[in-house]
Amino acid sequence: MSPIDYSVYLVTGRDLLPPGQSFESTLTAALSSGVTLVQLREKTADTGDFLTIARTTKAICDAHNVPLLINDRVDIALAVGAAGVHVGQDDMQVKDARALLPPGAIVGVSCNSADDVRRARADGADYVGIGAVYGTMTKNVKNPLLGPRAVGALLALLDGSHIRAVAIGGIGAGNLARTLRGAIADSGRALDGVAVVSDIMASKEPGKAAAKLAAIVKDFKKSMSAPNPEKPLHVPDLLDEVVRVMNVVRELNPLVHQITNTVVTTQSANITLAAGASPIMATAPKKSANWLLSLDVVGAMRVVGPAANLARTPLVFDPVGVGATAFRKRTTQGLLDGFQCVLDCERGVWISVLKGNAGELAAVAGLQTSTPTGIESGLKPIPGAEEVRAKGVDTAGPGFTDPAGFVRALAGREHCTTLLSGATDYVSDGARCVRVSNGVEVLGRVTGSGCMLGSLVATYCAAAAHIADLDAAAAHIADLDGAAAKADVDGADTDTSTVVRGDTSTVVRGDMLVGALTGVLVLSI
Ligand code: 3NM
Ligand code: MG
Protein backbone atom coordinates (compact mmCIF):
# COMPACT_ATOMS: atom_id res chain seq x y z
CA MET A 1 0.00 0.00 0.00
CA SER A 2 1.37 3.44 -0.86
CA PRO A 3 2.09 5.64 2.13
CA ILE A 4 -0.71 7.88 3.30
CA ASP A 5 -0.45 11.51 2.22
CA TYR A 6 -1.63 13.63 5.15
CA SER A 7 -1.28 16.97 3.35
CA VAL A 8 -4.95 17.96 3.24
CA TYR A 9 -7.00 15.79 5.52
CA LEU A 10 -10.73 16.36 5.28
CA VAL A 11 -12.72 15.44 8.37
CA THR A 12 -16.39 15.39 7.44
CA GLY A 13 -19.23 17.18 9.16
CA ARG A 14 -22.48 16.84 7.27
CA ASP A 15 -24.26 19.24 9.59
CA LEU A 16 -22.06 22.07 8.32
CA LEU A 17 -23.06 21.82 4.66
CA PRO A 18 -24.41 25.11 3.33
CA PRO A 19 -27.94 25.13 1.91
CA GLY A 20 -28.07 23.65 -1.57
CA GLN A 21 -24.84 21.71 -1.17
CA SER A 22 -25.05 17.93 -0.92
CA PHE A 23 -22.58 15.78 0.98
CA GLU A 24 -21.70 13.89 -2.18
CA SER A 25 -21.05 17.00 -4.24
CA THR A 26 -18.92 18.62 -1.51
CA LEU A 27 -16.91 15.45 -1.09
CA THR A 28 -16.44 15.03 -4.83
CA ALA A 29 -15.37 18.64 -5.31
CA ALA A 30 -12.95 18.47 -2.40
CA LEU A 31 -11.43 15.18 -3.52
CA SER A 32 -11.01 16.48 -7.06
CA SER A 33 -9.19 19.55 -5.79
CA GLY A 34 -6.46 18.40 -3.48
CA VAL A 35 -7.86 16.54 -0.46
CA THR A 36 -5.50 13.62 0.17
CA LEU A 37 -7.21 11.80 3.05
CA VAL A 38 -10.76 11.64 4.41
CA GLN A 39 -12.14 10.85 7.84
CA LEU A 40 -15.85 10.18 8.08
CA ARG A 41 -16.98 11.73 11.32
CA GLU A 42 -20.58 11.07 12.35
CA LYS A 43 -21.35 12.02 15.88
CA THR A 44 -25.11 11.51 15.91
CA ALA A 45 -25.96 8.98 13.18
CA ASP A 46 -27.44 5.62 14.09
CA THR A 47 -25.36 2.62 13.11
CA GLY A 48 -27.49 1.89 10.02
CA ASP A 49 -27.27 5.47 8.74
CA PHE A 50 -23.57 5.60 9.55
CA LEU A 51 -23.00 2.45 7.51
CA THR A 52 -24.96 3.80 4.55
CA ILE A 53 -23.06 7.08 4.47
CA ALA A 54 -19.81 5.22 5.00
CA ARG A 55 -20.47 3.10 1.90
CA THR A 56 -21.23 6.20 -0.17
CA THR A 57 -18.12 7.93 1.15
CA LYS A 58 -15.96 4.90 0.48
CA ALA A 59 -17.16 4.73 -3.12
CA ILE A 60 -16.37 8.41 -3.72
CA CYS A 61 -12.96 8.09 -2.04
CA ASP A 62 -12.17 4.99 -4.11
CA ALA A 63 -13.07 6.83 -7.29
CA HIS A 64 -10.46 9.45 -6.39
CA ASN A 65 -7.96 6.98 -5.03
CA VAL A 66 -8.00 8.67 -1.63
CA PRO A 67 -7.95 6.61 1.59
CA LEU A 68 -10.88 6.75 4.00
CA LEU A 69 -10.67 6.56 7.79
CA ILE A 70 -13.64 6.19 10.09
CA ASN A 71 -14.01 8.21 13.25
CA ASP A 72 -14.27 6.10 16.38
CA ARG A 73 -16.13 3.07 14.96
CA VAL A 74 -13.91 0.09 14.23
CA ASP A 75 -16.96 -1.97 13.24
CA ILE A 76 -17.95 0.51 10.52
CA ALA A 77 -14.36 0.67 9.28
CA LEU A 78 -14.31 -3.14 8.98
CA ALA A 79 -17.74 -3.28 7.33
CA VAL A 80 -16.80 -0.88 4.52
CA GLY A 81 -13.15 -1.88 4.19
CA ALA A 82 -11.84 1.52 5.21
CA ALA A 83 -8.10 2.13 5.51
CA GLY A 84 -8.38 2.55 9.27
CA VAL A 85 -9.83 4.56 12.13
CA HIS A 86 -9.33 7.76 14.04
CA VAL A 87 -9.93 7.60 17.77
CA GLY A 88 -10.33 10.34 20.33
CA GLN A 89 -8.96 10.30 23.84
CA ASP A 90 -12.32 9.04 25.14
CA ASP A 91 -12.74 6.37 22.49
CA MET A 92 -11.36 2.88 22.18
CA GLN A 93 -7.59 2.88 22.74
CA VAL A 94 -5.14 2.69 19.86
CA LYS A 95 -3.93 -0.76 20.88
CA ASP A 96 -7.44 -2.20 21.04
CA ALA A 97 -8.41 -0.74 17.68
CA ARG A 98 -5.23 -2.06 16.14
CA ALA A 99 -5.95 -5.55 17.49
CA LEU A 100 -9.36 -5.60 15.80
CA LEU A 101 -8.27 -4.23 12.44
CA PRO A 102 -6.40 -6.07 9.70
CA PRO A 103 -2.62 -5.72 9.50
CA GLY A 104 -1.51 -2.49 7.90
CA ALA A 105 -4.63 -0.57 8.95
CA ILE A 106 -4.14 3.05 9.94
CA VAL A 107 -4.89 4.10 13.50
CA GLY A 108 -4.74 7.78 14.38
CA VAL A 109 -5.48 9.50 17.64
CA SER A 110 -6.40 13.01 18.79
CA CYS A 111 -3.82 14.64 21.06
CA ASN A 112 -3.94 17.85 23.04
CA SER A 113 -1.09 17.45 25.49
CA ALA A 114 2.41 16.09 25.91
CA ASP A 115 0.98 13.10 27.77
CA ASP A 116 -1.40 12.32 24.92
CA VAL A 117 1.44 12.39 22.41
CA ARG A 118 3.71 10.23 24.57
CA ARG A 119 0.94 7.68 24.95
CA ALA A 120 0.21 7.71 21.21
CA ARG A 121 3.87 7.03 20.63
CA ALA A 122 4.04 4.24 23.18
CA ASP A 123 0.87 2.67 21.74
CA GLY A 124 2.21 2.76 18.20
CA ALA A 125 -0.29 5.11 16.58
CA ASP A 126 0.27 5.80 12.88
CA TYR A 127 -0.45 9.47 13.23
CA VAL A 128 -1.60 12.05 15.74
CA GLY A 129 -4.14 14.82 15.18
CA ILE A 130 -2.88 17.69 17.33
CA GLY A 131 -5.46 20.25 18.38
CA ALA A 132 -7.31 22.30 18.78
CA VAL A 133 -4.89 24.85 17.38
CA TYR A 134 -7.42 27.67 17.27
CA GLY A 135 -10.96 28.12 18.46
CA THR A 136 -13.57 26.36 16.38
CA MET A 137 -17.35 26.24 16.21
CA THR A 138 -17.22 22.72 14.79
CA LYS A 139 -16.53 20.89 18.00
CA ASN A 140 -17.09 21.73 21.60
CA VAL A 141 -13.42 21.84 22.49
CA LYS A 142 -12.90 21.63 26.24
CA ASN A 143 -9.14 21.29 26.20
CA PRO A 144 -6.82 24.30 26.02
CA LEU A 145 -6.29 25.81 22.57
CA LEU A 146 -2.71 25.20 21.56
CA GLY A 147 -1.65 27.77 18.99
CA PRO A 148 0.99 26.81 16.41
CA ARG A 149 3.96 27.08 18.69
CA ALA A 150 2.69 24.58 21.23
CA VAL A 151 1.94 22.27 18.31
CA GLY A 152 5.63 22.56 17.42
CA ALA A 153 6.54 21.62 20.97
CA LEU A 154 4.35 18.53 20.77
CA LEU A 155 5.88 17.59 17.42
CA ALA A 156 9.26 17.49 19.12
CA LEU A 157 7.99 14.56 21.20
CA LEU A 158 7.74 12.53 17.99
CA ASP A 159 11.41 12.95 17.12
CA GLY A 160 12.96 9.66 16.15
CA SER A 161 9.61 8.00 15.44
CA HIS A 162 7.72 7.37 12.21
CA ILE A 163 4.49 8.74 13.60
CA ARG A 164 2.96 11.35 11.30
CA ALA A 165 1.21 14.47 12.57
CA VAL A 166 -1.52 16.80 11.44
CA ALA A 167 -2.88 19.88 13.17
CA ILE A 168 -6.61 20.46 13.59
CA GLY A 169 -9.00 23.07 14.87
CA GLY A 170 -9.95 26.40 13.33
CA ILE A 171 -7.54 26.07 10.44
CA GLY A 172 -8.24 27.60 7.06
CA ALA A 173 -6.39 29.13 4.14
CA GLY A 174 -5.92 32.39 6.03
CA ASN A 175 -3.87 30.93 8.86
CA LEU A 176 -2.52 27.74 7.36
CA ALA A 177 0.92 28.83 6.17
CA ARG A 178 1.63 30.55 9.44
CA THR A 179 0.41 27.49 11.30
CA LEU A 180 2.70 25.19 9.35
CA ARG A 181 5.64 27.50 9.81
CA GLY A 182 4.96 28.22 13.44
CA ALA A 183 4.74 24.53 14.28
CA ILE A 184 8.25 23.37 13.57
CA ALA A 185 10.15 21.50 16.27
CA ASP A 186 13.75 22.38 17.06
CA SER A 187 14.83 19.23 15.24
CA GLY A 188 13.21 20.60 12.09
CA ARG A 189 10.29 18.18 12.26
CA ALA A 190 7.22 19.76 10.73
CA LEU A 191 3.57 18.87 10.33
CA ASP A 192 2.73 16.34 7.64
CA GLY A 193 -0.49 18.09 6.89
CA VAL A 194 -3.57 19.76 8.19
CA ALA A 195 -7.01 18.45 9.11
CA VAL A 196 -10.03 20.63 8.49
CA VAL A 197 -13.73 20.32 8.85
CA SER A 198 -15.56 23.60 8.36
CA ASP A 199 -13.15 25.29 5.98
CA ILE A 200 -14.21 22.76 3.36
CA MET A 201 -17.53 21.35 4.61
CA ALA A 202 -19.16 24.72 5.25
CA SER A 203 -17.85 26.25 2.05
CA LYS A 204 -20.09 27.07 -0.89
CA GLU A 205 -17.04 26.37 -3.03
CA PRO A 206 -15.47 23.33 -1.37
CA GLY A 207 -13.26 22.63 -4.39
CA LYS A 208 -11.73 26.07 -4.21
CA ALA A 209 -11.29 25.81 -0.45
CA ALA A 210 -9.49 22.48 -0.81
CA ALA A 211 -7.32 23.76 -3.65
CA LYS A 212 -6.18 26.74 -1.59
CA LEU A 213 -5.19 24.52 1.31
CA ALA A 214 -3.42 22.10 -1.00
CA ALA A 215 -1.42 24.90 -2.63
CA ILE A 216 -0.30 26.24 0.73
CA VAL A 217 0.76 22.82 2.03
CA LYS A 218 2.60 22.12 -1.21
CA ASP A 219 4.46 25.42 -1.02
CA PHE A 220 5.40 24.71 2.55
CA LYS A 221 6.69 21.22 1.86
CA LYS A 222 8.69 22.48 -1.07
CA SER A 223 10.23 25.19 1.05
CA MET A 224 11.15 22.68 3.75
CA SER A 225 12.87 20.39 1.30
CA ALA A 226 14.65 23.18 -0.57
CA PRO A 227 16.22 25.51 1.94
CA ASN A 228 17.17 29.01 1.00
CA PRO A 229 20.29 28.76 -1.10
CA GLU A 230 23.26 30.65 0.22
CA LYS A 231 24.01 33.27 -2.37
CA PRO A 232 27.08 35.36 -1.73
CA LEU A 233 26.54 39.09 -1.94
CA HIS A 234 29.00 41.46 -3.48
CA VAL A 235 28.86 45.09 -2.52
CA PRO A 236 29.26 46.48 -6.03
CA ASP A 237 26.55 44.12 -7.30
CA LEU A 238 24.31 45.13 -4.45
CA LEU A 239 24.74 48.80 -5.21
CA ASP A 240 23.93 48.09 -8.84
CA GLU A 241 20.81 46.37 -7.60
CA VAL A 242 19.90 49.47 -5.65
CA VAL A 243 19.96 51.52 -8.80
CA ARG A 244 18.18 48.87 -10.81
CA VAL A 245 15.35 48.47 -8.33
CA MET A 246 14.92 52.24 -8.07
CA ASN A 247 14.54 52.38 -11.82
CA VAL A 248 12.09 49.52 -11.83
CA VAL A 249 9.91 51.41 -9.35
CA ARG A 250 9.83 54.40 -11.63
CA GLU A 251 8.93 52.24 -14.58
CA LEU A 252 6.33 50.10 -12.89
CA ASN A 253 4.79 52.72 -10.67
CA PRO A 254 3.49 50.01 -8.32
CA LEU A 255 0.45 50.49 -6.19
CA VAL A 256 1.47 50.29 -2.55
CA HIS A 257 -1.35 49.68 -0.12
CA GLN A 258 -0.49 50.87 3.35
CA ILE A 259 -2.41 50.44 6.54
CA THR A 260 -0.80 52.59 9.15
CA ASN A 261 -1.61 54.80 12.05
CA THR A 262 -2.74 58.38 11.67
CA VAL A 263 0.54 59.85 12.93
CA VAL A 264 2.40 58.95 9.77
CA THR A 265 -0.12 58.53 6.98
CA THR A 266 0.94 61.69 5.14
CA GLN A 267 4.70 61.10 5.36
CA SER A 268 4.28 57.49 4.27
CA ALA A 269 2.20 58.50 1.26
CA ASN A 270 4.63 61.26 0.33
CA ILE A 271 7.74 59.16 0.41
CA THR A 272 6.00 56.48 -1.64
CA LEU A 273 5.18 59.10 -4.27
CA ALA A 274 8.71 60.46 -4.13
CA ALA A 275 10.08 56.98 -4.85
CA GLY A 276 7.90 56.78 -7.94
CA ALA A 277 5.11 54.54 -6.70
CA SER A 278 1.43 55.12 -6.00
CA PRO A 279 0.33 54.92 -2.38
CA ILE A 280 -3.14 53.92 -1.29
CA MET A 281 -3.67 54.53 2.40
CA ALA A 282 -6.93 52.63 2.89
CA THR A 283 -7.88 50.56 5.89
CA ALA A 284 -10.62 48.96 3.82
CA PRO A 285 -9.52 46.00 1.71
CA LYS A 286 -12.45 46.44 -0.63
CA LYS A 287 -14.12 49.60 -1.74
CA SER A 288 -17.22 48.82 0.20
CA ALA A 289 -18.95 51.12 2.59
CA ASN A 290 -19.50 48.24 4.97
CA TRP A 291 -15.86 47.42 5.22
CA LEU A 292 -15.02 51.03 5.80
CA LEU A 293 -17.51 51.33 8.58
CA SER A 294 -16.90 48.04 10.25
CA LEU A 295 -13.16 47.56 10.24
CA ASP A 296 -10.76 49.23 12.57
CA VAL A 297 -7.08 49.38 11.63
CA VAL A 298 -6.13 46.08 13.24
CA GLY A 299 -9.24 44.42 11.83
CA ALA A 300 -8.25 45.62 8.38
CA MET A 301 -4.76 44.20 8.83
CA ARG A 302 -6.25 40.86 9.79
CA VAL A 303 -8.26 40.77 6.59
CA VAL A 304 -5.72 42.23 4.20
CA GLY A 305 -2.66 40.31 5.44
CA PRO A 306 -3.91 36.81 4.56
CA ALA A 307 -5.38 38.15 1.31
CA ALA A 308 -1.97 39.54 0.38
CA ASN A 309 -0.36 36.21 1.24
CA LEU A 310 -2.77 34.28 -0.90
CA ALA A 311 -2.29 36.66 -3.82
CA ARG A 312 1.49 36.34 -3.42
CA THR A 313 1.69 40.04 -2.80
CA PRO A 314 4.74 41.11 -0.83
CA LEU A 315 3.84 42.20 2.66
CA VAL A 316 5.85 44.29 5.07
CA PHE A 317 4.96 44.05 8.73
CA ASP A 318 6.16 46.69 11.11
CA PRO A 319 5.11 45.94 14.68
CA VAL A 320 5.29 49.44 16.04
CA GLY A 321 6.11 49.77 19.69
CA VAL A 322 5.20 46.12 20.21
CA GLY A 323 7.13 45.87 23.44
CA ALA A 324 5.39 48.84 25.02
CA THR A 325 2.08 47.29 26.05
CA ALA A 326 0.44 43.92 26.53
CA PHE A 327 -2.18 44.95 23.97
CA ARG A 328 0.41 45.49 21.27
CA LYS A 329 2.12 42.21 22.09
CA ARG A 330 -1.18 40.37 21.84
CA THR A 331 -2.06 42.11 18.62
CA THR A 332 1.31 41.40 17.04
CA GLN A 333 1.16 37.77 18.09
CA GLY A 334 -2.32 37.48 16.64
CA LEU A 335 -1.28 39.11 13.38
CA LEU A 336 1.80 36.93 13.05
CA ASP A 337 -0.34 33.88 13.64
CA GLY A 338 -2.96 35.07 11.18
CA PHE A 339 -0.81 35.93 8.24
CA GLN A 340 2.58 34.86 7.23
CA CYS A 341 5.45 35.46 5.02
CA VAL A 342 4.91 33.59 1.82
CA LEU A 343 7.85 31.80 0.38
CA ASP A 344 8.42 32.23 -3.29
CA CYS A 345 9.61 28.73 -4.03
CA GLU A 346 10.71 29.42 -7.55
CA ARG A 347 13.08 32.15 -6.48
CA GLY A 348 14.02 30.52 -3.22
CA VAL A 349 13.57 33.67 -1.20
CA TRP A 350 11.10 34.82 1.38
CA ILE A 351 9.15 37.62 -0.15
CA SER A 352 7.90 39.40 2.95
CA VAL A 353 9.70 41.62 5.39
CA LEU A 354 9.45 41.95 9.15
CA LYS A 355 10.81 45.32 10.09
CA GLY A 356 11.46 47.04 13.38
CA ASN A 357 13.94 48.79 15.59
CA ALA A 358 15.91 46.96 18.26
CA GLY A 359 13.20 47.27 20.91
CA GLU A 360 10.50 46.08 18.57
CA LEU A 361 12.37 43.11 17.21
CA ALA A 362 13.55 42.13 20.69
CA ALA A 363 9.90 42.11 21.75
CA VAL A 364 8.91 40.02 18.73
CA ALA A 365 11.74 37.61 19.55
CA GLY A 366 10.35 37.22 23.06
CA LEU A 367 6.74 36.63 22.04
CA GLN A 368 5.13 33.47 23.31
CA THR A 369 8.23 31.52 24.12
CA SER A 370 6.03 29.75 26.59
CA THR A 371 2.37 29.22 25.88
CA PRO A 372 -0.61 29.93 28.13
CA THR A 373 -1.30 26.20 28.31
CA GLY A 374 2.05 25.63 30.02
CA ILE A 375 3.40 23.51 27.20
CA GLU A 376 6.94 24.53 26.41
CA SER A 377 6.72 26.36 23.14
CA GLY A 378 8.51 24.92 20.14
CA LEU A 379 9.64 28.46 19.38
CA LYS A 380 13.36 28.81 19.67
CA PRO A 381 14.49 31.62 21.97
CA ILE A 382 16.64 34.12 20.13
CA PRO A 383 20.02 34.74 21.74
CA GLY A 384 20.42 38.40 22.61
CA ALA A 385 16.67 39.17 22.77
CA GLU A 386 16.98 39.90 26.48
CA GLU A 387 19.68 42.53 25.90
CA VAL A 388 17.27 45.11 24.57
CA ARG A 389 14.13 46.48 26.14
CA ALA A 390 11.50 48.52 24.40
CA LYS A 391 10.65 51.98 25.71
CA GLY A 392 7.46 53.19 24.07
CA VAL A 393 8.12 53.07 20.38
CA ASP A 394 11.76 53.69 21.15
CA THR A 395 14.56 51.45 22.29
CA ALA A 396 16.31 51.76 25.63
CA GLY A 397 19.95 50.98 26.19
CA PRO A 398 22.92 50.33 23.97
CA GLY A 399 21.45 47.61 21.81
CA PHE A 400 22.48 44.09 20.86
CA THR A 401 26.03 42.89 21.32
CA ASP A 402 25.66 40.82 18.15
CA PRO A 403 22.96 42.50 16.07
CA ALA A 404 23.79 40.55 12.92
CA GLY A 405 23.51 37.25 14.81
CA PHE A 406 20.25 38.36 16.41
CA VAL A 407 18.64 39.38 13.12
CA ARG A 408 19.81 36.24 11.37
CA ALA A 409 18.35 34.05 14.12
CA LEU A 410 15.04 35.93 14.14
CA ALA A 411 14.75 35.85 10.34
CA GLY A 412 15.46 32.13 10.44
CA ARG A 413 12.86 31.49 13.09
CA GLU A 414 10.16 33.67 11.57
CA HIS A 415 11.03 32.58 8.05
CA CYS A 416 10.95 36.02 6.56
CA THR A 417 13.41 38.68 5.60
CA THR A 418 13.99 40.69 8.74
CA LEU A 419 15.18 44.25 8.92
CA LEU A 420 16.59 45.75 12.10
CA SER A 421 16.66 49.51 11.77
CA GLY A 422 18.96 51.64 13.85
CA ALA A 423 22.15 53.65 13.65
CA THR A 424 23.32 50.73 11.57
CA ASP A 425 20.70 48.65 9.82
CA TYR A 426 20.83 44.89 9.48
CA VAL A 427 18.87 42.88 6.95
CA SER A 428 18.84 39.11 6.95
CA ASP A 429 16.95 36.30 5.25
CA GLY A 430 18.06 33.85 7.91
CA ALA A 431 21.21 32.85 6.05
CA ARG A 432 22.82 35.99 4.76
CA CYS A 433 23.04 39.27 6.62
CA VAL A 434 23.67 42.71 5.22
CA ARG A 435 24.84 45.60 7.37
CA VAL A 436 24.02 49.07 6.12
CA SER A 437 26.10 51.69 7.85
CA ASN A 438 25.15 55.00 6.40
CA GLY A 439 22.88 56.29 9.12
CA VAL A 440 22.08 59.95 9.53
CA GLU A 441 21.61 61.23 13.05
CA VAL A 442 18.75 63.59 12.27
CA LEU A 443 16.43 60.77 11.23
CA GLY A 444 16.35 59.58 14.82
CA ARG A 445 14.60 62.82 15.70
CA VAL A 446 12.01 62.78 12.93
CA THR A 447 8.84 61.03 13.87
CA GLY A 448 7.62 58.71 11.15
CA SER A 449 11.05 58.21 9.62
CA GLY A 450 10.84 54.52 10.51
CA CYS A 451 7.47 54.46 8.85
CA MET A 452 8.86 56.04 5.77
CA LEU A 453 11.56 53.43 5.71
CA GLY A 454 8.81 50.81 5.82
CA SER A 455 7.03 52.53 2.93
CA LEU A 456 10.21 52.46 0.89
CA VAL A 457 10.86 48.82 1.72
CA ALA A 458 7.34 48.01 0.61
CA THR A 459 7.65 50.10 -2.53
CA TYR A 460 10.86 48.47 -3.62
CA CYS A 461 9.66 44.99 -2.76
CA ALA A 462 6.64 45.59 -4.98
CA ALA A 463 8.90 46.47 -7.87
CA ALA A 464 11.53 43.87 -7.19
CA ALA A 465 9.63 40.75 -8.18
CA HIS A 466 12.73 39.48 -9.91
CA ILE A 467 15.18 40.67 -7.28
CA ALA A 468 15.74 38.95 -3.96
CA ASP A 469 14.09 40.83 -1.13
CA LEU A 470 17.20 41.05 0.84
CA ASP A 471 18.71 43.14 -1.87
CA ALA A 472 15.52 45.13 -2.27
CA ALA A 473 15.32 45.83 1.43
CA ALA A 474 18.93 46.96 1.48
CA ALA A 475 18.20 49.18 -1.49
CA HIS A 476 15.69 51.40 0.24
CA ILE A 477 17.73 51.79 3.36
CA ALA A 478 20.52 53.13 1.25
CA ASP A 479 17.97 55.30 -0.53
CA LEU A 480 16.40 56.78 2.57
CA ASP A 481 19.72 57.43 4.19
CA GLY A 482 21.01 58.98 1.02
CA ALA A 483 18.02 61.27 0.79
CA ALA A 484 18.34 62.28 4.41
CA ALA A 485 22.02 62.89 3.98
CA LYS A 486 21.30 65.32 1.19
CA ALA A 487 18.75 67.09 3.31
CA ASP A 488 20.96 67.25 6.36
CA VAL A 489 22.29 70.81 6.47
CA ASP A 490 25.18 69.73 8.66
CA GLY A 491 26.40 67.87 5.63
CA ALA A 492 26.58 64.17 6.28
CA ASP A 493 29.00 62.59 3.91
CA THR A 494 26.96 60.67 1.36
CA ASP A 495 30.07 59.24 -0.25
CA THR A 496 30.77 57.07 2.75
CA SER A 497 27.48 55.21 2.39
CA THR A 498 28.41 51.58 2.62
CA VAL A 499 26.45 48.45 2.06
CA VAL A 500 28.42 45.43 3.12
CA ARG A 501 27.95 41.87 4.18
CA GLY A 502 27.20 41.78 7.87
CA ASP A 503 29.58 39.40 9.47
CA THR A 504 32.62 40.71 7.69
CA SER A 505 31.94 44.41 8.02
CA THR A 506 33.35 46.67 10.65
CA VAL A 507 31.96 49.90 9.26
CA VAL A 508 29.58 51.59 11.65
CA ARG A 509 28.63 55.16 11.19
CA GLY A 510 25.85 57.54 11.97
CA ASP A 511 22.55 57.14 13.69
CA MET A 512 19.55 56.08 11.74
CA LEU A 513 15.90 55.50 12.32
CA VAL A 514 15.89 55.01 16.03
CA GLY A 515 12.42 56.37 16.54
CA ALA A 516 10.42 54.18 14.23
CA LEU A 517 6.68 54.59 14.43
CA THR A 518 4.68 52.55 12.01
CA GLY A 519 1.74 50.37 11.25
CA VAL A 520 1.38 47.61 8.76
CA LEU A 521 2.14 48.08 5.15
CA VAL A 522 0.49 45.83 2.69
CA LEU A 523 1.36 46.29 -0.88
CA SER A 524 -0.17 45.20 -4.08
CA ILE A 525 1.54 45.39 -7.39
N1 3NM B 1 -11.06 17.68 16.67
P2 3NM B 1 -12.67 22.90 12.07
S3 3NM B 1 -10.93 20.22 16.85
C4 3NM B 1 -12.78 17.26 14.94
O5 3NM B 1 -9.07 19.36 19.05
C6 3NM B 1 -11.95 18.16 15.74
O7 3NM B 1 -9.11 17.28 18.55
C8 3NM B 1 -10.45 18.65 17.32
O9 3NM B 1 -12.99 21.60 12.91
C10 3NM B 1 -9.47 18.43 18.40
O11 3NM B 1 -11.67 22.50 11.03
C12 3NM B 1 -12.00 19.55 15.71
O13 3NM B 1 -14.00 23.23 11.46
C14 3NM B 1 -12.85 20.37 14.85
O15 3NM B 1 -12.22 23.96 12.99
C16 3NM B 1 -12.09 20.97 13.71
MG1 MG C 1 -14.39 10.24 19.46
Q: Is residue 157 over pLDDT 80?
A: yes
- Ligand 1 pocket mutation, candidates 141, 151, 166, 179, criterion most atoms within 8 A of CB: 141
Between residues 243 and 509, the one the model is more confident about: 243
- In whole angstroms, what is the distance from residue 328 CA to residue 518 CA? 12
Q: What does the angle CA 212 – CA 64 – CA 35 come to, to the nearest 5 degrees?
A: 25
- Cβ of residue 71 lying under 6 Å from some atom of ligand 1: no
CA nearest neighbour of 496 among 512, 509, 506: 509
- Ligand 1 pocket mutation, candidates 39, 139, 146, 203, criterion most atoms within 8 A of CB: 139
- In whole angstroms, what is the distance from residue 408 CA to residue 410 CA? 6
468-494 pLDDT, tens digit each: 444 444 555 555 444 443 333 222 222
Q: Is residue 376 over pLDDT 60?
A: no
- In whole angstroms, what is the distance from residue 345 CA to residue 223 CA? 6
* Domain 8-225 belongs in CATH node 3.20.20.70: yes
Q: ipTM score here?
A: 0.90
Q: Is residue 465 over pLDDT 70?
A: no
121-137 pLDDT, tens digit each: 999 999 999 998 877 78
- In whole angstroms, what is the distance from residue 346 CA to residue 223 CA? 10
Q: Is residue 506 over pLDDT 70?
A: no
Task: Give ranges for CATH 3.20.20.70 in the chain.
Answer: 8-225
Is the torsion defined by CA of 503, 504, 506, 507 positive or negative? negative
pLDDT on residue 72: 97
pLDDT on residue 435: 77
- Cβ of residue 316 lying under 6 Å from some atom of ligand 1: no
Q: Is residue 454 over pLDDT 90?
A: no
349-364 pLDDT, tens digit each: 444 688 888 888 998 8
Work out the pLDDT band at 179, boundaries 50, 70, 90.
Answer: confident
Is the torsion defined by CA of 288, 294, 296, 298 positive or negative? negative
Query: Which ligand is in closest contact with the Cα of 85?
Result: 2
Q: Is residue 497 over pLDDT 60?
A: no
The CATH topology of domain 246-369+380-522 is UDP-N-acetylmuramoyl-L-alanine:D-glutamate ligase (3.40.1190)
pLDDT on residue 243: 67
pLDDT on residue 97: 98
Task: Give ranges for CATH 3.40.1190.20 in the chain.
Answer: 246-369+380-522
Q: What does the angle CA 522 – CA 524 – CA 525 come to, to the nearest 5 degrees?
A: 145
The region, left, alpha or beta by phi > 0 then psi within -120 to 50, assigned to residue 77 is alpha
Closest residue by CA, ligand 1 atom 4 = 139
The region, left, alpha or beta by phi > 0 then psi within -120 to 50, assigned to residue 141 is beta
The residue type of 337 is D
- Section 1-15 average pLDDT: 92
Closest residue by CA, ligand 1 atom 15 = 170
